[in-house]
Amino acid sequence: MVIVTLRDLLISSEAIRFGDFTLASGKKSRIYVDIKTAITNPHILREIAKEILLKKIFFDAVAGVAVGGIPLAVAVSLACDKPYIIIRKETKGHGISGLAIGEIAGKRVLLVEDVTTSGGSALFGIENIRDAGGFLEHVVTVVDRNEGAEVVLKEKGVSLHPLIRMEDLLDE
């Protein structure tokens, strides 16, 4: 029997590509990570949700920052029957204002991310959850590029739990 790992699923879905790439930051990389494309596949999204829950982190609600974190938060929510929270990137000028959608105050919140690099998106989510009265001590990311997110989050009292680290992708 062949065991297919999350790493294998991401590579076969071309969410992980090897070559020469220029990242949004302008940095060069041998690896391109596109979890957003992979999580459009329900099988992969379900597997990621299972792996997140295997981390055994206690939480009352799961949150994701738009865009990549939202499908992850929904999948985890459905897998464990707990509510999810949406963190918008910007305040809308109409309807209900605010960046956070969902019940947050007094809740222990788990933030899920597709990819962490410097930790900027996670910090944005942490700040908004804490500002809304939520407690956040853990972030789970599908892939951590090992470019500083773990250290930056630790400074905010938050532990980063990657499902896959960049060095796992380099072990070919």
Q: CATH number of the domain that 55 lies in?
A: 3.40.50.2020
Q: Which residues contact 88 (CB under 8 A, 6 or more apart)?
A: 66, 98, 99, 100, 101
Q: Is residue 1 part of a domain?
A: no
Q: Is residue 27 part of a domain?
A: no
For 63-87, the pLDDT digits (tens) are 999 999 999 999 999 999 999 999 9
Q: Which amino acid is at 159?
A: S
Q: Is residue 22 part of a domain?
A: no
Strand intervals (E) in the chain: 16-22, 28-33, 61-65, 84-87, 100-101, 108-116, 135-144, 159-165
Task: Give the confidence band of 93 by pLDDT, cuts at 50, 70, 90.
Answer: low
For 141-166, the pLDDT digits (tens) are 999 999 999 999 999 999 999 999 98
Residue 92's pLDDT is 60
0.85 exceeded by pTM: yes
- Residue 145 domain boundaries: 35-170
Q: Give the Cα separation of 145 and 166 in Å (integer).
A: 5
Q: How many domains does the chain have?
A: 1
Residue 2 has pLDDT above 70, yes or no: no
Q: Which of 112, 120, 108 is nearest to 86 (CA)?
A: 112
Q: Is residue 5 part of a domain?
A: no
Q: Is residue 121 part of a domain?
A: yes
The structure tokens listed for 148 are 């500083």
Residue 32's pLDDT is 87
Q: Is residue 151 part of a domain?
A: yes
